[in-house]
Structure 1
Amino acid sequence: MALLGALSCATAIQAAPLQLDATTPSYAPARHIDVLEDREGRLTIADIASGAHDGEFRPALPADSEKTNAALNFGYSSSTWWLRLSVDSRAAVDGWMLLEIAYPTLDRVDFFAPVAGGWQQSQAGDLLPFAARPFVHRNMVFPLQVGDGVQSYYLRVQSDGSLTVPLQLWRPEAFERESQQSYALLALYFGMLLALMAYNLLLYFSLRERAYLVYVFFVATLAIGLLSLSGMGGQFLWPDWPDWGNVALPFGFCMAGLFGTLFTRVFLDTHKTVPRHDRVLVVLGWLFVLTGLAALTLPYYLSAAAVSLLGVTTPFVVISSGIICLRRNHPGARWFLLAWTLLMIGVSVQGARNIGWIPTNLLTLHAIQIGSALEMLLLSFALADRINVLRRERDNAQSQVIAAMSERLAVMMNVIPDIVFYKDRHGVFLGCNKAFETLIGRSESEIVGKTDFDMVAEEHARFFRLQDEIMMKGGKPRRNEEWVPTADGRFILLEMVKSPLYGAQGEPIGLVGIGRDITERYRGIELERVRNRIFELLAGGAEMSEILSQIVDYVERSRSGMLCSILLLDGARKHLQLGAAPSLPEAYNQAVHNLPVGDGAGSCGTAAFRNERVIVADIHTHPYWTPYSEILAQAKQAGLVSCWSEPVRSSKGELLGTFAVYRKQAGVPDETDINLIQQASNLASIAIERKHAEDMIWRQANYDSVTGLPNRRLFRDRLEQELRKTHRDGSSLALMYIDLDRFKEVNDSLGHDIGDMLLIQAAQRIRDCVRESDTVARLGGDEFTVILPQIDDINRVEQVAENIVEMLAMPFSFGREAAFVSASIGITLYPEDADNAESLLKNADQAMYVAKGNGRNCFSCFTGQMQEHALHRLHLIRDLRSALPEKQLRVYFQPIVDPRDGRIVKAEALIRWQHPERGLVNPMEFIPVAEEVGLIHDIGNWVFREATGWMKRWHEQGYACRQVSVNKSPSQFVAENSHGIWVDYLREIGLPGECLVIEITEGLLLDERVDIMQKLLQFRDAGIQVAIDDFGTGYSALSYLKKFDIDYLKIDRSFVHDLATDPNDLALSEAIIVMAHKLGLQVVAEGVETVEQRDILMKAGCDFAQGYLYAKPMPAEEFDALLASGKSLLR
């Protein structure tokens, strides 16, 4: 500002030329410079050299100025400045000299030297690549040739930043010396910065103090600005990046300001010590960030001005913060304040010089470098002092902690649950904590001076002493587990760690022992081991006594002095039986076996009765035990005094038995004892319940759920065993295969509940007929087997078979009703008939079918011919399965006539099988087979559709046959929705229900099942009539005739056959006809073959007749032709 003022007030005079002499190495030409301000920046060297603007040049400094070394400072100016230097050598210098501008941050400098015929131009500046400079140097240096006389040289200077032009004219050799010195000083300076960064970085990694890391960043960013300011960066780091060189200065100083304020906050803890200043520092930090970012995009002069303003403002905040912290006795504030004061003075001087507030000289030109060097020197002391402060604080903190620990050690020793004790080399106790006092049952004063031999049994004391000696000889801590007696007589397991104690000379003087009670942990491990062992035994099929003994052993090992037993509840739930008691005397175990369950029945009987824990401290005086003198005497002889009994319950809470603990002294269990007993009880519960479940699963897998007899699986196993035994003995064995005749009819008609009751009674009757050593089994359905080993007389086998046949032929009673079945039995012998189980079973099955073929209710012994019969039956079943799909079945019709005139009024549909190889197969041969293999449903439905189809034709033709009868087996009748299918089909083909009669057996009506009654009613609702087939041959009860709406009774052919010769058959037939008419029913007589039979039936009032007298069953086509002829069948 002073320079500008001088220029504005000066007269139009010129500065005197610079006089050169032969000895001066360098000159400061500032007083010999004329300057001209080119505000528009349009003037060229031609304009200037023409002399047209000579009047506008003014001396840069007043003629009387004493600042010979002053730099020309134009402040922040956007104008272009022309500088003119006139040099008068007077022949003192004839050669080259160097003109240096010692301010590397100028944007552009053009140097013009006179040459023949014009001007030689040289360029430099931080906006130009470094390679464009005429002389390699960090500053801008221009060579000029000096000759005799006065010569003028021009400089054109332009910069967006601080426009400072410190000029110096050098002789080349003098410049070289000075340049080397300056480079060396700068290298030393920046090397110091690098060393300082490395040193603080190491401190950071060592101490993890954030202040050191922040300071490293501060020095690094400050170095960037200083490298740019000194020209070192432009020469060595970014010579080809002039754009970055123009930004590096403000950006580096902005980042240095950011980390400087952050360092201040961290080092002085300003958020605690000076909160207001801390907030200002935060704001300044953000301003530095914003300015640094703006420097990347804004014009240089704006960012440079902003940096300078922040550089002037920041020191006041930082230094004032340091002053306040110093007053508040912050340990590092003294060094911090001094160091940062010097740095901030340098920064402020630099900023003031840049703005033009103070003159430029050597001190102001390098103010930042000088201030930062001093700051680093002093701050190194501050950081070193910070380490000492931290060490002192840490030492003080450790001392306080040690003091607090020392004060609390005694308290802690007495509150920790682990036991702690000290001994000397000879095993004498020197001290202990409260936990050890409680364990031993003595105070510390009573323990000190004693040894283990004074406080525990000798065997335990010897063991403890041995463990101490082993540790002392090893000279290092030793860990082991020890069972230690407690003051109340229990034993606990301690995890002991014993370590040697050493004296001042390093000699062993004793030991310290620390013990932790791991009894519960040990028991948990043991419990898991026992549980796993129990599961292994269960999986291996071990006996219950072995499994329970493992549980008893676990408890007895966990508690010294305990003797245990497990008693199991019997099947009647009235007595307790011995399960396991391996440690109790056998005489005592025998005495408590079958102990009754009841209130006051000893500890175990009472616990079982009440289903709760019973504790008896002294069994010899307790009223629960007094009535059981024998048990009490055995307990006294065994030395048993107390007994604690815990009920063993299932997962559903049901009683399974009891777990009892006996001790040889009076007392009650503590909480630990109860927990142990409960654990044992739970284990016993798991074992017992699992075993019961396995037994149940095995029984379900091997026994029939209805009869309780061995099933097919167990039967095969028994048969194999008996065969091996018989083979060894050389004896014989008989196998019976029993099938209940007509059981299926009973089961279908009376229901499955009645069927199951009949099977149970049948099983018991069969058992009553054989020996206990014989095996009776149910294979399934109505099939039973009997294994008769050790047979030496076939007559004995036949006698057993006859007894079974007789027993099973007797009536089976079910309340008011009775059912009749019979038995068909097949018999085969080992080794006469076969030598293996499979063949024996097959032979007996074949013999059983022979018995059925012989009229049932009998037995048959296996012969070789039966094999052929069985093979024939298998072929029959195979062919029958394909008969319906291959259309081999035929429907035949047999007329039902009015006996008075022989008119055909009805017909019964019958089935025939036209086998492709065997011809016509008798229905009596294949119908039972169809029922057995389940084909009767499909066959019956097919007959129904065929019969109703023909009936529709006859109905439409108006033939005399007005009804067709179709048989429906009990299994068909009870099948789901079978009645609905038939009714729907009649509607589908348009045939009235009155044209159909369904024939059922009387056994179906004996059951009062609601579903059967509903189906009959549904048939009647559809107009379908019902007839009872083979009436009189099945059951004795006739009350069902009143309960069901029946239309016809069909007298079985067995009554009709002997009407003429057997008065009984005549009486029964007449009674049936009379009874039917009384009930409003009509009667059809089957099997009418003679005129005499017809006449008797007519005389008795029989309504309809059917039999060979009139016609045999005939194919549908023949019967259709017969109806079409209208021919009467009167005989």
Structure 2
Amino acid sequence: MSSIDSHAEWPRVLQAPQEAWRITTSLLWLFVLFALPALGLQARTMEPAPLVVDGSESRINLKAHIRYLRDSENLDHDQALAQLEHFHSITERRDINFGYTRDTVWLALSLSSEALYGTDWVLELNYPSLDQIHFYSHGPSGLETQLAGDVPRYAERDFPHRTPIFKLRLEPGEQRLVLLRVRSEGSMTLDGSLWQAEAFRLQSNTSYVILAIYFGMLLALGGYNLLLFMVLRERSFLLYVLFVFSFAAGAMAINGLGPHYLWPNSGEPGNRVLPVSLTFASTIALLFAQAFLNTARWAPRWHQVLTIAATLAASITLLNLVVPVQTALQLMSMAGLLVSALLFACGLSCMLQRVPGAGIFVLAWLMLLIGASMLALRNFGLIPSNFVTVYAMQVGSALEMLLLSLGLAARFNELKRQKELAQSSALAAQKQVVKALQQQERVLEQRVAERTQALEAANARLAELAMQDPLTRLANRSALANHLHQALQRTQRHKELLALVLIDLNDFKAINDQLGHESGDQVLCQVAQRLKDCAREADLIARLGGDEFILVSEGIQDQEDALRLGERLEEALSLPIDIEHGQINVGASIGISLSDGHWPDAETLMRYADQAMYQRKRSGRSGIQLYADATLSNQSAAEKADVKAR
């Protein structure tokens, strides 16, 4: 059937004949549009054809395939089945939304499968906040029943989910008649979809992720501002936190997460969470507006109006605890709409008076007003129920709470700025009185700081010199002792090996005797530099005195690794050294001892390296020698080093 867009614009009335013809045509169409229902045509009572599925569909909107019956007599299943011919087609309505009603609503759906194989389907009613839905499926195997809704206990629901869902399987060529009996104290919104089982699983996971993000944002905003309240003790932050958490409880009830996770077995009392939490949120919102806009100072009349409104909202909150649930839900919708409009008007008035923060407050409440209005109008059945109207409150509330949080931060910064400005003005006079004294104190502090800095630099220099060999700038014995103690502890923790390499230059006394001590000092400095070049950044090189040097290397893998280190040092020291009198060659005897951090200790480790070095020196040639006890498990490595030295 063709449809006429109810939102089409009227053509402008012009003087030309063509425009007159357009107007006449439009009036004829309007006459046909309104005359057809009056003529009692049978189109609206025609029974929809069965919904035929072939297994290729992922989701089917059921509006065009469902018939309904409003039941004020509380029929049972057999009675409703007997009146199947009295069911009406949904196509005569804009949507499947009956607003607030005490009637039971029956839905009928005929299904036929042309699939080549058996397929699993999920029938979902898109509105989570429905009290009780009985599902009756007539097929070749007889009658099958299921139960869903947020009132039955969790264990009584056949397929627990945040929205009412029912599962069915269609075999090839199978025909089924499905009846749904729906009762709810809330808005009777019955838009439904038929999903392939796998498509529903994917869509369900996506919806849970979106809701998790939404409630995670509310939790983050509430928790962040709660911390700010605990630090700043500002009343508006506490009111904001109460508003966020009370609104979140209502949103969880609307989205079905509360009945599914938080109060799954509460039954009828669980229906009151939604009206009580949202009317309480309205009460807190009015108090928050007073604190945020400081209406007591900037808008006294509005302050009185908001006080009266908050008192009424609090009374409605208490009333919703005892009145029938449907009445409580209607009071909630009206209160939410009126409070949102009142707060928007108050914010607009304050914005015209240039009250700090009023602009962002108006924008925030405009978002919520739009969402609340769409939700309330949909609940009363005045506008269609679709994705936009169902989730308008969540979208509007998310934007509103983000803007209010930003507004709180901006307002706090403005109050802080004003407070600082007032304090600066109050302190200006005092600064003039004590200015001279402060100047003297600054001079004295500067002198003390300079003296302290000079003393610290001198002490640091003395400490550095105390731990440093003055000739080679390497670490001295004291620095070596400190480093070796810590290195052994690290080696023990890391379960590695530490190598202590003792290096003694051969025939160094002859250099001093023949070329002079100045040349000997040049040799020692160049040897120190070559050791630095061969060592890793984490290694420590120290001069024990005279021509003896020590290298401490952590992270040694095994004895082979230690020997390779000694070979690099020996190779570097075997190269000619340039001094003032020319080039000379200096050999070195190298002794190496190893420790795993437990044994040997520092003193014994030094003694073992010294013994290994003298063992090599007594052979009369340069080379590398591992201490014998350190090579018990790898004698071949020491023998290999000895062969290389020969």
TM-score by length of 1: 0.35
Q: Which residue of structure 2 aligns with residue 48 of structure 1?
A: 80
Q: Any idea what SS the aligned residue of 1:212 has?
A: helix
Question: Which structure carries more relative contact order (alpha carbon 8 Å, separation 6+)?
Answer: 2
Supply the distance in 1 between the matched residues of 2:438 and 2:252 (Cα, whole angstroms).
72
Answer yes or no: is 1:28 the counterpart of 2:61.
yes
Structure 2 letter corresponding to 1:87: L
Alignment of 1:142-541 (within 5 A): 142-147=166-171, 148-406=173-431, 409=433, 501-503=441-443, 506-507=446-447
Alignment of 1:580-595 (within 5 A): none
Q: Which residue of structure 1 aligns with residue 90 of structure 2?
A: 60
Alignment of 1:849-864 (within 5 A): none
Contact 2:59 2:195 in 1 (8 A): yes
Contact 2:275 2:329 in 1 (8 A): yes
Contact 2:246 2:278 in 1 (8 A): yes
User: Which has the larger Rg?
Assistant: 1
Q: Which residue of structure 2 aligns with residue 1013 of structure 1?
A: none
Shift of 1:501: 1.8
Supply the distance in 1 between the matched residues of 2:430 and 2:448 (Cα, whole angstroms).
25
**Which of the numbers 81, 85, 106 marks the counterpart of 2:105?**
81
Structure 2 letter corresponding to 1:48: A
Q: Any idea what SS the aligned residue of 1:137 has?
A: coil
Contact 2:105 2:182 in 1 (8 A): yes
Supply the distance in 1 between the matched residues of 2:302 and 2:37 (Cα, whole angstroms).
43
For residues 649-687 of structure 1, give each alpha carbon's deviation from its aligned partner in whole angstroms, at most 9, with x where no partner exists. Answer: xxxxxxxxxxxxxxxxxxxxxxxxxxxxxxxxxxxxxxx
Shift of 1:11: 4.4
**CA shift in 2, pair 1:369/1:11, >3 Å:** closer
Supply the distance in 2 between the matched residues of 1:192 and 1:184 (Cα, whole angstroms).
12
Supply the distance in 2 between the matched residues of 1:233 and 1:266 (Cα, whole angstroms).
30
Contact 2:139 2:177 in 1 (8 A): no
Supply the distance in 2 between the matched residues of 1:355 and 1:362 (Cα, whole angstroms).
16
Supply the distance in 2 between the matched residues of 1:508 and 1:90 (Cα, whole angstroms).
96
Structure 2 letter corresponding to 1:49: L
Structure 2 letter corresponding to 1:44: D
Contact 1:15 1:32 in 2 (8 A): yes
**CA shift in 2, pair 1:7/1:389, >3 Å:** farther
Q: Any idea what SS the aligned residue of 1:143 has?
A: strand
Alignment of 1:434-833 (within 5 A): 501-503=441-443, 506-507=446-447
Alignment of 1:1004-1015 (within 5 A): none
Task: Please say which of residues 112-121 and 209-218 is displaced more in the overlay.
Answer: 112-121
**CA shift in 2, pair 1:503/1:18, >3 Å:** farther
Answer yes or no: is 1:91 the counterpart of 2:115.
yes
Q: Which residue of structure 2 aligns with residue 127 of structure 1?
A: 151
Contact 2:99 2:381 in 1 (8 A): yes
Q: Any idea what SS the aligned residue of 1:502 has?
A: helix
Supply the distance in 2 between the matched residues of 1:392 and 1:21 (Cα, whole angstroms).
68
Alignment of 1:1070-1109 (within 5 A): none
Supply the distance in 1 between the matched residues of 2:385 and 2:44 (Cα, whole angstroms).
24
Contact 1:124 1:140 in 2 (8 A): yes
Q: Which residue of structure 2 aligns with residue 18 of structure 1?
A: 51
Supply the distance in 1 between the matched residues of 2:338 and 2:132 (Cα, whole angstroms).
30
Shift of 1:391: 2.4
Supply the distance in 1 between the matched residues of 2:151 and 2:121 (Cα, whole angstroms).
25
Structure 2 letter corresponding to 1:55: E
Supply the distance in 2 between the matched residues of 1:504 and 1:185 (Cα, whole angstroms).
63
Q: Any idea what SS the aligned residue of 2:64 has?
A: helix
Supply the distance in 1 between the matched residues of 2:120 and 2:163 (Cα, whole angstroms).
18
Structure 1 letter corresponding to 2:80: I
Q: Any idea what SS the aligned residue of 1:503 has?
A: helix
Q: Any idea what SS the aligned residue of 1:195 has?
A: helix
**CA shift in 2, pair 1:92/1:317, >3 Å:** farther
Contact 1:134 1:143 in 2 (8 A): no
Shift of 1:225: 0.5
Contact 1:270 1:321 in 2 (8 A): no
Supply the distance in 1 between the matched residues of 2:336 and 2:37 (Cα, whole angstroms).
29
Q: Any idea what SS the aligned residue of 1:344 has?
A: helix
Q: Which residue of structure 1 aligns with residue 468 of structure 2?
A: none
Supply the distance in 1 between the matched residues of 2:347 and 2:298 (Cα, whole angstroms).
10
Q: Any idea what SS the aligned residue of 2:393 has?
A: helix
**Which of the numbers 92, 102, 107 marks the counterpart of 2:131?**
107
> Sequence identity, in percent?
36
Structure 2 letter corresponding to 1:30: K
Shift of 1:145: 2.1
**CA shift in 2, pair 1:98/1:179, >3 Å:** same
Contact 1:501 1:508 in 2 (8 A): no
For residues 846-893 of structure 1, give each alpha carbon's deviation from its aligned partner in whole angstroms, at most 9, with x where no partner exists. Answer: xxxxxxxxxxxxxxxxxxxxxxxxxxxxxxxxxxxxxxxxxxxxxxxx
Structure 2 letter corresponding to 1:111: F
Contact 2:148 2:159 in 1 (8 A): no
Structure 2 letter corresponding to 1:313: L
| Structure in which a larger fraction of residues adopt helix | 2
Supply the distance in 2 between the matched residues of 1:351 and 1:116 (Cα, whole angstroms).
43
Contact 2:97 2:385 in 1 (8 A): yes
Shift of 1:333: 1.0
Q: Which residue of structure 2 aligns with residue 569 of structure 1?
A: none
**CA shift in 2, pair 1:183/1:49, >3 Å:** same
Q: Any idea what SS the aligned residue of 1:110 has?
A: strand
**CA shift in 2, pair 1:195/1:94, >3 Å:** same
Task: Please say which of residues 330-339 and 238-247 is displaced more in the overlay.
Answer: 238-247
Supply the distance in 1 between the matched residues of 2:438 and 2:44 (Cα, whole angstroms).
107
In structure 1, stretches of 5+ residues that fail to align are 414-420, 425-499, 510-1131
Shift of 1:423: 12
Contact 1:20 1:92 in 2 (8 A): no
Q: Any idea what SS the aligned residue of 1:358 has?
A: coil
Contact 1:265 1:278 in 2 (8 A): yes
Q: Any idea what SS the aligned residue of 1:81 has?
A: strand
**CA shift in 2, pair 1:117/1:137, >3 Å:** closer
In structure 2, stretches of 5+ residues that fail to align are 1-5, 7-33, 450-646
> How many residue pairs align between the two structures?
412
For residues 597-653 of structure 1, give each alpha carbon's deviation from its aligned partner in whole angstroms, at most 9, with x where no partner exists. Answer: xxxxxxxxxxxxxxxxxxxxxxxxxxxxxxxxxxxxxxxxxxxxxxxxxxxxxxxxx
TM-score by length of 2: 0.60
For residues 161-198 of structure 1, give each alpha carbon's deviation from its aligned partner in whole angstroms, at most 9, with x where no partner exists. Answer: 21111211111111111111111111111111111111
**CA shift in 2, pair 1:7/1:23, >3 Å:** farther
* Aligned-residue RMSD, C-alpha: 2.7
Q: Any idea what SS the aligned residue of 1:371 has?
A: helix
Contact 1:112 1:153 in 2 (8 A): yes
Supply the distance in 1 between the matched residues of 2:116 and 2:66 (Cα, whole angstroms).
21
For residues 439-475 of structure 1, give each alpha carbon's deviation from its aligned partner in whole angstroms, at most 9, with x where no partner exists. Answer: xxxxxxxxxxxxxxxxxxxxxxxxxxxxxxxxxxxxx
Shift of 1:60: 1.2
Q: Any idea what SS the aligned residue of 1:27 has?
A: strand
Shift of 1:230: 0.9
Contact 2:101 2:188 in 1 (8 A): yes
Shift of 1:229: 0.9
Supply the distance in 2 between the matched residues of 1:184 and 1:200 (Cα, whole angstroms).
24
